[in-house]
């Protein structure tokens, strides 16, 4: 297996450390586990990697309150 170096903030490293499910878990194992949480598909078939990434971005937008409810959207669109 080949490895690469990535730059992450100290706070991100601390968050990753808090997610370790055993003491010697590697960051690669933690990141793979997080990626595995994104659905791979449904009854209609497998999702593309682009769609899986958009699902993740959507969840992040919801968490960070960068979404509109129906009433807000109608108001913004003038409907």
Instruction: Count how many domains the chain has.
Output: 2
Q: State if pTM tops 0.85.
A: no
Residue 69 lies in a domain: yes
Torsion of CA 39, 44, 45, 47, to 10 degrees: -50
Same domain, 55 and 76: yes
Q: What is the pLDDT of residue 1?
A: 80
Q: pLDDT tens across 29-71, in order?
A: 999 999 999 999 999 999 999 999 999 999 999 999 999 889 9
pLDDT band at 16 (very low <50, low <70, confident <90, very high): very high
Give the contacts of 67 (CB within 8 A, at least 6 positions apart).
Answer: 61
Residue 20 lies in a domain: yes
Q: Where in the sequence is the domain holding 20, given as residue range(s)?
A: 9-38
Same domain, 13 and 30: yes
Q: pLDDT tens across 3-15, in order?
A: 899 999 999 999 9
* Contact (CB, 8 A) for 42 and 36: no
**3-class secondary-structure state, position 26:** coil
Same domain, 49 and 79: yes
> Which sign, positive or negative, has the C-alpha torsion 9, 62, 19, 36?
negative
Residue 2 lies in a domain: no
Same domain, 31 and 49: no
């Amino acid at each position: 297996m080949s490895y690469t170096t990535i730059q992450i903030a100290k706070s991100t490293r601390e968050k990753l450390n808090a997610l370790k499910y055993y003491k010697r878990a590697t960051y690669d194992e933690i990141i793979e586990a997080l990626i595995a949480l994104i659905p791979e598909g449904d009854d209609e078939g497998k999702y593309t990697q682009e769609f899986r990434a958009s699902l993740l971005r959507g969840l992040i937008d919801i968490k960070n309150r960068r979404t509109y409810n129906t009433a807000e959207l109608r108001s913004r669109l003038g409907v």
